[in-house]
Amino acid sequence: MKIFKGLIILVLVIWGLPLGAHAQDKAAGGGELLGALLNPDEAFVYDDHGNRNPFSPLVTASGSIVTFEKDLLITDMILEGIMTEDAGNNIAIINGRILGPNDLIGAFEIMEISKDTVVLQKGQKIYTLKLKKEE
């Protein structure tokens, strides 16, 4: 692990990234990546500034290029989590987005969110996403 950190620091120095006072870099708004590499116990939180998630696929399961969110297929949807409430204000996390009933994701409208499923509608077709259970 020490060799790995040393190699990363060497590459950053060669590229000319500052290795100055870590606290000053953070206060100035820079150095978060370097700080995360040097201190893996500190969590790095990516701020997307409202842009597309860079980790979401650009190609659908069928091999076509996703150009807009409207091009999403049901097979591209990943149900990552569900939060339920006794009052019925349930939310789902699909492809990294927090959504509730009547919200749209692409051309799909969320009709219902239960404890382990989300029902979506696109046109006249109804689809159900099931939450995968952890093993």
pLDDT-based confidence at residue 73 (cuts at 50, 70, 90): confident
- Choose the most confident range, by mean pLDDT, from 21-25, 55-59, 75-79: 75-79
- Choose the most confident range, by mean pLDDT, from 4-8, 16-20, 76-80: 76-80
Query: pLDDT, tens digit, for every residue of 30-50?
Result: 555 556 566 666 666 666 666
Q: Which of 16-30, 46-60, 102-116 comes out lowest in average pLDDT?
A: 16-30
Report pLDDT for 15: 57
pLDDT-based confidence at residue 62 (cuts at 50, 70, 90): confident
How would DSSP label each residue in the chain? -HHHHHHHHHHHHHHT---S-HHHHHHTT--HHHHHHH-TTSPP----TTS--TTS-SB-TTSPBP-SGGG--GGG--EEEEE--TTS--EEEETTEEE-TT-EETTEEEEEE-SSEEEEEETTEEEEEEPPPP-
Report pLDDT for 41: 65
Q: Which domains does the chain have, with CATH numbers?
A: 2-38 (no CATH), 69-130 (2.30.30)
Q: In degrees rounded to 5, what are phi and psi of residue 8?
A: -65, -45
Q: What percent of the chain has pLDDT over 70?
A: 53
What is the Cα–Cα distance from 34 to 63, expressed in whole angstroms?
Answer: 36
Q: Is the pLDDT of residue 106 over 70?
A: yes
Query: pLDDT, tens digit, for every residue of 119-135?
Result: 999 999 999 999 887 66
Q: What percent of the chain has pLDDT over 90?
A: 25
Contact 94, 44 (CB under 8 A): no
Contact 128, 119 (CB under 8 A): yes
